Chain A
């Protein structure tokens, strides 16, 4: 069965520090997709990244970077030089492409960036 675990419930860091959000997934499929979403205090989920299981290349987008490691079934998200605007709940998610179009979300990590 598919499952996404975000073990860090809540993290607080001081502004400008780097922070990594962990995500571990479980799936029996060889074809799957991983996602990260950001939910700021306004509530709307904002899409950040989608990565398929055949592409293990790490991705960098500005201060954001993602480390995908199939060997450990992890898809971790790092924010470099954090800013107060990064404060939000971050969700990791998984979709098994061979089954249906449903996305399974982790429980989220609440990130506090302290000024």
Chain B
């Protein structure tokens, strides 16, 4: 069966520091991968999605970036964090079929101070 991992689970970082969040998927090949952010108040915002290695689509202009160095690895990064980057970051994977179900990881709670 497929599983999705995210780490770290929680992170407290000072403003201006770099960020690296990692997401890995097991049990499937060539998944579509997604990064979402959920700020306080619940709404889910799609940040990036990837349909293959090295293929990244950005949804929202910001100081975050994403990379997919391996088929089942998706990394969210920042060179300098802002206070507004605080939130709950969720990684998800989906199949290649159109509008396939997305399955979410446990999330990373990021607090920028």
Chain A contact patch, size range: 20 to 34
Contact count A vs B, C-beta below 8 Å: 53
Chain B residues positioned under 8 Å from A42 (CB to CB): 106
Chain A positions 54 through 97: 1 when the CB is less than 8 Å from some CB of chain B, otherwise 0: 00000000000000000000000000000000000101000111
B60 to chain A, nearest CB (A): 12
Chain A residues positioned under 8 Å from B104 (CB to CB): 37, 44-47
Q: Could you say which of A43, A102, A110 contacts B49, with CB atoms under 8 Å apart?
A: A102
B21 to chain A, nearest CB (A): 14
Query: In whole angstroms, how far apart are the Cα atoms of A37 and B107 in the complex?
Result: 15
How many residues on B have C-beta within 8 angstroms of the other chain's C-beta atoms?
23
> Which residues of A are in contact with B by a Cβ distance under 8 Å?
32-33, 35, 37, 39, 42-47, 50, 89, 91, 95-98, 101-103, 105, 107-108, 110
> Which residues of B are in contact with A by a Cβ distance under 8 Å?
32, 42-44, 46, 49, 51, 59, 88, 90, 92, 94, 98-107, 109
